Structure 1
């Protein structure tokens, strides 16, 4: 009987595994879109969109060559003069130095306080967390989960309704992405056997892990001198792997989602690997399921013979194969309602309603939760597609116009998507709960991005019968609308979308409507020097540590941004450039393309979020392993410009004896006025998840998995833990939320 850590079970980060073997080209292989951009402009936009276009300084009209000239439309009434654009914020803090210390460092004049830690109780009568693996498993559905991640602050008024401007009371909804098993049990996970024969032999351990994934909703309050969470609030809630949920949208109630638990395909249990997040304009929370595929057990040697060619193609594209990353399905005996066996995605019964062969299809969705109604049943919104969802960022909200969400699919060589609602926004739906979600999120158009090498791009609709998404597609024969959203990666392959370097968080600039997407990194295997392109232009070596261990490819990552044409989020074309390139300050000019210096150099951008109070202030978080010989992960504040504020540039890439030039588009160098390091976290952590109080005077930030590289053999020797944050001493490390305030009570970052 041996104890193993999660890292030993799954030594490779699931984010780093790509499953896209489609022949879709990279940018240098793309030709200009067959659609004339001038023709697209000529189709026009609505009055509100035109006003936004004017305010943002964009424009264009006319008809392209080869298209018929359309009759001129009557001239619209003159639009009212746009309101003056708010002045750009100015960074007002001293840059924090890089650090390898086991602390949270913030600028002088700021205080970071721990608010909510792994295991903290969220109901009356639940004891404080012992943090030694002995806490009763049954209490964990009333405790904070592990690996705190994306989150949103929902201000709440005295009538217990959503009040976005509230400065002192709110509901904090947050994701718990995964777990660090070593610190959850007395001596880590108990596993018997190896390989396909490995099993979990202690059911209590697995029960803890079920509860520690998912989402927390907690009430937080500002006191006279600090923020705290209210342990006995009636709003407090945990949503986890055992929480019942319903499906809505095109895949609901179809054969693809039928299981022994739900014989009509209308519901499932749970959510997990909840990474980034999103919001709605009616006041609900969107949690997004990212690396869900690896939790399911499917031994290909025994299961493949029972599967159709289509099923095998889908499993391969999504990476559903293996023993299951936490071996949950192996606990015996199973319960009557199959809380363990449901993670076995193999064919074991006569039909789909006799087993969980479709279990993997029930994950990979955007899930809507109403934080103001603790008893409500969350809904998985299938119209937004099934993928490794890295958030769902809401675009500009304009009355009378459709709503738009932008999404990344977090794996190497995956795509960027957007969903456009059929219904136009009506502010009367504010506080409409899940019923509003039914109206706006179950019917719409799903698109995937194709980037062109000339700095333009197009949105390709993912719909049965268009863009190669047909029953005659040679790679995958699409059957119906549900098949398209369930296998949206295959639909995007068929449409010809552009492979990107691990698309992570998306963020929309409230001043300009432009969209920013973090591309965390890639390696030489995923994008060799011959496959660099305009938007993924670098191939280089970033030697790490005293041994100068080679890190080749694009180990430091970058951030791409784009502006939908006409400043209209529903437009079918856009312009793009690369806003920032991660790099060491000491790297050469062909690597450090953004001119980073000691006060703002970074690696592996991940979390990305614009403040809604200090309009135009961008926060950037890192999830890094490449630069950790120099510094722990960090949070940076930025004041970005606009797409096109830089210039075209040709760089030189080198791989041994191979040299290759690459043209790209580089945004204006930020300098320290436009980018500064604001926070550095403790050892082995990721900085992720960010939200603010209604007045912008409290910033909530998550510190995820400190000490995660601790070896299983060291569990009995606390002196050898990789981190002891936040408690210090010999304590086991805990993921936690910190709240940052300015000592003079001012706005954060300014």
Structure 2
């Protein structure tokens, strides 16, 4: 779910080999946070971590030449209101909106009368990761596949279903705001195998919610800066809560890292706020506009209208006070959002921390590259809005394998995430790319005419403006990132972009370029207006496979398209009925098998099928060919863009594994360390609901998971976001009968 902002700056818009390596390296013994990383040649064995679930050292498997293969039939496209998985697999609902996290909280009635969301599952389940426990549930066990803690994001709301009669218009009743606010944030919930199937533990010591009301520490270079000073924290060192959390990952030291995505829409500004701040050219006004909050902006939910209490007033970021530093109002409150947030699942008393060194923008997520002993860590991030950028953070500290199991996990976060360099990516037409450092030492940034940066903290708070200054490449909504667990190549989903045009002719539009080469029409969403309707997945390899490299090579792993579309301009990856897809969003690699999982958040193909998840065998950068796309410009001249198309998948290398219920997004995935269970989130089924229809269940688009027998309501239940667990009926690995190529990773 995305509320898109627009980048209106003037920047230019721009299987077998790996499989054999994986199989051969499968015999290597791997330890906590490390893995074999033989990459297409003479690369040495390197340690790696992050991006998924870490596992303990395991006995080396016997050498095998059996290539890994997909073991399931492709699931057919479907518009049914259910979750479909292949024969031989079982999907079970595990944890849904409103489920209580302690014995004192009542069972969820699912009729709009429920309260106490501080101790219930939130809404819109999104990024998710698994943290293993020992058999007694008393300590971390990175190999624990029978018992663990799921940590997941609750991105947003289908707010009508939270209230008996739907949402009340502004001014909002405090009772409604008091449910909606804590239904956002993060859940930590223990899960355990009981009689062979996973169930969540209602009374676990690890269960907790982190909501927009939870105290959180600001850390890194921006901590204490004037841009963070508010009535709540005059020193600029703390804030309350996290919101619109989207993707997630696991750090190499075993904590949860979550991204704050489209947070700006939660804040309101008055019609005269520009004047109060000093006029249209005032720095704070320029910053607010670049981050999607011009004056006279209404908030998404109107919480600021629910009362005078500080709990509600903070959502109004207009300058209402008389102080010069913002300590008597919430004019700076939005500057405390838009970061990567670290949570320790094993330590409920530990405060979450916002890691400001990783920059401020619409963070879809942050994914760690392969951790190599003695070298810095890299974190890859996308800014999920049309025409925004791909970023990389490189830590100042070099990785020490002893930190894979530190005594203090949040202190390890301080070490690796509070100091480093932030870069934005530029993609060149020849398949090369550069990482451009966002630093006040760069005179292009220091002398940027559109915004005068005061210091490096200002650069980080206004990373979008700094990336504008250096001419980073505008991308088609960069969303999830994933790192191949052996090659280290980085994959980033570019979900779609209705503003990608043959040639930009208006504010916020971007012309086609090599990295974003398609602009085409597709009913029903773009019958007359071209854009990148179905999205694509870009991938890149750092020069020398070095985390601190400032150059890289890239191509496009996959172009989303309907199978029957024009192969010369749209269906460049030659997708078939077994694997066609639109709007790739989530992407993730199994650390057990090396298979890639792709999830969709789509509105362009939903007349044919609900959103889905596919499983594939990835290739490598450069395994395909260049395909020339020819366009006719408005003046009749021709424009040729060379698309760098990765090896075209077949049904043997990519196929549909899951289709979700109606009106949903498939998002978030993690696995048990043994690779025999995956957890997947089904977000906002049946979200399209008008208040006028809230009293007539027959008009709901979806009734899942109640219609599948989970929770109250039965066949006409209000729909609920939920986590499902998928297992093979024979107890095998998910997706394959092949060699356990990454055993112990």
Shorter-chain TM range is 0.7 to 0.9
Q: TM-score, normalised by structure 1?
A: 0.87
Task: Pick from 114, 117, 122 the counterpart of residue 140 of structure 1.
Answer: 117
Are residues 524 and 379 of structure 1, via their aligned partners in 2, closer, same or farther at CA, if it must alter by over 3 Å? closer
- Greater Cα shift, 377-386 or 532-541: 532-541
Residue in structure 2 matched with residue 350 of structure 1 by the alignment: 322
Residue in structure 2 matched with residue 68 of structure 1 by the alignment: none
Give the distance between the partners of 1:434 and 1:404, measured in 2 at CA.
18
Residue in structure 2 matched with residue 237 of structure 1 by the alignment: 208
Give the distance between the partners of 1:58 and 1:692, measured in 2 at CA.
31
Residue in structure 1 matched with residue 5 of structure 2 by the alignment: 17
Task: Pick from 205, 222, 234 the counterpart of residue 193 of structure 2.
Answer: 222
Residue in structure 2 matched with residue 534 of structure 1 by the alignment: 514
Give, in angstroms, the shift of residue 165 of structure 1.
Answer: 2.0
The answer on 1:150 being equivalent to 2:137 is no
Q: Does the Cα contact within 8 Å between 1:147 and 1:705 map onto a contact in 2? A: yes
Task: Pick from 227, 230, 238 the counterpart of residue 267 of structure 1.
Answer: 238
SS at match of 1:339: helix
The answer on 1:734 being equivalent to 2:709 is no
Task: Pick from 256, 260, 263 the counterpart of residue 289 of structure 1.
Answer: 260
Residue in structure 2 matched with residue 388 of structure 1 by the alignment: 362
Give the distance between the partners of 2:635 and 2:648, measured in 1 at CA.
30
Give, in angstroms, the shift of residue 494 of structure 1.
Answer: 1.0
Are residues 304 and 148 of structure 1, via their aligned partners in 2, closer, same or farther at CA, if it must alter by over 3 Å? farther
Q: Does the Cα contact within 8 Å between 1:106 and 1:679 map onto a contact in 2? A: yes
Give, in angstroms, the shift of residue 433 of structure 1.
Answer: 1.5
The runs of 5 or more residues in structure 2 that have no matched partner are 15-34, 44-61, 505-509, 708-714, 737-745
The answer on 1:208 being equivalent to 2:179 is yes
Residue in structure 2 matched with residue 500 of structure 1 by the alignment: 475
Are residues 629 and 54 of structure 1, via their aligned partners in 2, closer, same or farther at CA, if it must alter by over 3 Å? closer
Give, in angstroms, the shift of residue 656 of structure 1.
Answer: 9.3
Give the distance between the partners of 1:307 and 1:694, measured in 2 at CA.
55
Residue correspondence of structure 1 range 335-734 to structure 2 within 5 A: 335=309, 338-351=310-323, 352-429=326-403, 430-431=405-406, 432-466=408-442, 468-470=444-446, 472-524=447-499, 528=503, 531-544=511-524, 549-550=527-528, 552-590=530-568, 591-614=570-593, 616-653=594-631, 660-728=639-707, 729-734=715-720
Q: Deviations over 1:481-527 (max 9, x none)?
A: 11011001111111211110100000000120000000000114667
Q: Deviations over 1:626-676 (max 9, x none)?
A: 000100000000111000000111023468996643212100001111110
Give, in angstroms, the shift of residue 437 of structure 1.
Answer: 0.6
Q: Does the Cα contact within 8 Å between 2:38 and 2:487 map onto a contact in 1? A: no
Give the distance between the partners of 2:486 and 2:592, measured in 1 at CA.
11
Give the distance between the partners of 1:88 and 1:645, measured in 2 at CA.
18
SS at match of 2:387: strand
The answer on 1:165 being equivalent to 2:143 is yes
Q: Does the Cα contact within 8 Å between 2:382 and 2:479 map onto a contact in 1? A: yes
Give, in angstroms, the shift of residue 306 of structure 1.
Answer: 2.3
SS at match of 1:523: coil
Give the distance between the partners of 1:467 and 1:144, measured in 2 at CA.
48
- Greater Cα shift, 429-438 or 625-634: 429-438
Q: Does the Cα contact within 8 Å between 1:287 and 1:368 map onto a contact in 2? A: yes
> Root-mean-square deviation (CA), in Å?
2.0
Give the distance between the partners of 1:54 and 1:113, measured in 2 at CA.
37
Q: Does the Cα contact within 8 Å between 1:304 and 1:312 map onto a contact in 2? A: no
Residue in structure 2 matched with residue 311 of structure 1 by the alignment: 284
Give the distance between the partners of 1:58 and 1:649, measured in 2 at CA.
30
SS at match of 2:703: coil
Are residues 113 and 394 of structure 1, via their aligned partners in 2, closer, same or farther at CA, if it must alter by over 3 Å? same
SS at match of 1:199: coil
Q: TM-score, normalised by structure 2?
A: 0.88
Are residues 671 and 625 of structure 1, via their aligned partners in 2, closer, same or farther at CA, if it must alter by over 3 Å? same
Q: Does the Cα contact within 8 Å between 2:277 and 2:285 map onto a contact in 1? A: no
Give, in angstroms, the shift of residue 15 of structure 1.
Answer: 3.4
Give the distance between the partners of 2:347 and 2:132, measured in 1 at CA.
14
Residue in structure 1 matched with residue 17 of structure 2 by the alignment: none
Q: Deviations over 1:260-289 (max 9, x none)?
A: 000100100000000011221111101110
Q: Does the Cα contact within 8 Å between 2:595 and 2:617 map onto a contact in 1? A: yes
- Greater Cα shift, 525-534 or 728-737: 525-534
Give the distance between the partners of 1:579 and 1:85, measured in 2 at CA.
28
Residue in structure 2 matched with residue 71 of structure 1 by the alignment: none
Give the distance between the partners of 2:536 and 2:144, measured in 1 at CA.
35
Give, in angstroms, the shift of residue 307 of structure 1.
Answer: 3.6
The runs of 5 or more residues in structure 1 that have no matched partner are 1-12, 28-50, 60-82, 192-197
Q: Does the Cα contact within 8 Å between 2:536 and 2:560 map onto a contact in 1? A: yes
Structure with the greater relative contact order (CA < 8 A, sep ≥ 6): 1 or 2?
2
Q: Deviations over 1:401-458 (max 9, x none)?
A: 2111100000011000111111111222224311111111001111111111100001
Q: Does the Cα contact within 8 Å between 1:53 and 1:568 map onto a contact in 2? A: no
Give the distance between the partners of 1:599 and 1:634, measured in 2 at CA.
12
Q: Deviations over 1:84-131 (max 9, x none)?
A: 999753111110000000000000000000000000001112111011
The answer on 1:326 being equivalent to 2:306 is no
Q: Deviations over 1:721-749 (max 9, x none)?
A: 01000002111000000000000000001
Q: Does the Cα contact within 8 Å between 1:460 and 1:467 map onto a contact in 2? A: no
Q: Does the Cα contact within 8 Å between 2:500 and 2:512 map onto a contact in 1? A: no
Q: Does the Cα contact within 8 Å between 1:213 and 1:273 map onto a contact in 2? A: yes
Are residues 26 and 241 of structure 1, via their aligned partners in 2, closer, same or farther at CA, if it must alter by over 3 Å? same
Give the distance between the partners of 1:468 and 1:85, measured in 2 at CA.
54
Give, in angstroms, the shift of residue 216 of structure 1.
Answer: 0.1
The answer on 1:57 being equivalent to 2:41 is yes
Q: Deviations over 1:30-64 (max 9, x none)?
A: xxxxxxxxxxxxxxxxxxxxx999743379xxxxx
Give the distance between the partners of 1:85 and 1:558, measured in 2 at CA.
34
